[in-house]
Amino acid sequence: NRYVVIKAHVDGPPKESHFEIKSEVISLELEAGSEDTIVKNLYVSIDPYQINRMKSYSSSQSSINLAAPVNPGEGIDTYGVAKVVASGNPEFQKDDLVAGLVSWGEYTVIKPGGLLKKLDPMGFPLSYHVGTLAFSGLTAYAGFFQVCKPKKGEKVFVSAASGSVGHLVGQYAKLLGCYVVGCAGTDEKVALLKEKLGFDHAFNYKEETDLKATLKSYFPEGIDIYFDNVGAEMQEAAVSNMSLFGRIAVCGVISEYTNTGRKASPDMIDVVYKRIKIQGFLASDFLNIFTEFLSTTCDHLLTGKMKPLEDISDGLESIPLAFVGLFYGQNIGKKIVKIADE
Ligand code: NDP
């Protein structure tokens, strides 16, 4: 079994050289009486939050470390789609397709009670079940509908709008009848948002020198909802352009993950007088609406109302570059690595 590890804790921007591939010999047969499940990983998720697990404790940004740390030399767990090779757990049979917590490796041995479920692909590509129809999608759906509580016609701004979560938020918002503006880091992404995904406007934030003025030009009457994926100065600019009773869902602050000195410091007087609600959230808070999210999103995909963007690299060896690329804007849509064919 080959798998990806970090060589040492990663503080600051990640590089490919922070990672290596280790090998171990594992048996693909279970010992008598074992209740483990051995799966062959097919597609694995590549997510920005993993960087926060890789930091050394002293540089951790938060006193609350909700995600278990990743230690040098140890396997790294992630969401993915896999096929059962052997199982002593009566819930799974050999050759079942499953989705759940696997690893950045060729095989994963999952203990009973591990986060794994049988997967019915419902006619969709298996890769959809890594992001769009799994946690990225749930994050977008729950963050937008439950946290932002949108109404038809409201004005919505999304950052990292061509990314895994962002491009879905923008499309849910358009389907509800909102005015939607997104920002992204290349002109190619901006064109995609406007021409393929139906955003009303999009802009390349790297080319703007005055973000407050830029947002003012797209939202002369104010922003009702800001779906924040990036934090820092974009959050500050959004707060200064929010409408009365605006809502900000803080989904993530990727621009702060690799730079501990960088923090959003929005004008709190604005927050008070405009009665802005700023709420962080985790997708895992919303597992109770997973079924609703899944059926709504499947309908939108089947009717062609939503277009998922995926960015799939091939092979275990591509994981370090795929992961590092998230922090340099190299992905368009959900970043996934395909480890093996079914
Ligand atoms: P994306 O697919 O959006 O990939 C990351 C993107 O972020 C890059 O492509 C890049 O696009 C942008 N980016 C990278 N560095 C910076 C920077 N310094 N400043 C501004 N933008 C940057 O990732 P996800 O959709 O998976 O995640 C988006 C956010 O949502 C992250 O903050 C993540 O941690 C968070 N998240 C939160 C969850 C929750 O439960 N709360 C669940 C899943 C994700 P660009 O070209 O536009 O710069």
pLDDT digit string (tens) for 213-254? 999 999 999 999 999 999 999 999 999 999 999 999 999 999
Q: State yes or no: pLDDT of 57 exceeds 80.
A: no
Q: State yes or no: pLDDT of 60 exceeds 90.
A: no
Amino acid found at 40: K
269-279 confidence digits (pLDDT tens): 999 999 999 99
pLDDT band per the 50, 70, 90 thresholds, residue 42: very high
pTM, rounded to two decimals:
0.97
Please report the pLDDT score of residue 293 as a whole number: 98
Share of the chain above pLDDT 90, in %: 93
* Ligand 1, CB within 6 Å, residue ranges: 47-49, 136, 139, 160, 162-166, 184-186, 189, 229-230, 251-255, 281-283, 326-327, 329, 331, 335
Please report the pLDDT score of residue 113 as a whole number: 87
Please report the pLDDT score of residue 63 as a whole number: 52
What is the spatial distance between Cα 64 and Cα 142, in angstroms, rounded to a whole number?
A: 23
Q: Measuring from atom 31 of ligand 1, which residue has the nearest CA?
A: 252
Four-CA torsion 253, 255, 258, 259, nearest 10 degrees = -110
276-311 confidence digits (pLDDT tens): 999 999 999 999 999 999 999 999 999 999 999 999
What is the spatial distance between Cα 44 and Cα 80, in angstroms, rounded to a whole number?
A: 4
Q: What ipTM was reported for this prediction?
A: 0.99
Nearest to 184 by CA among 2, 165, 173, 172: 165
131-158 confidence digits (pLDDT tens): 999 999 999 999 999 999 999 999 999 9
In angstroms, what is the span from residue 26 Cα to ligand 1's centroid? Answer: 35
233-242 confidence digits (pLDDT tens): 999 999 999 9
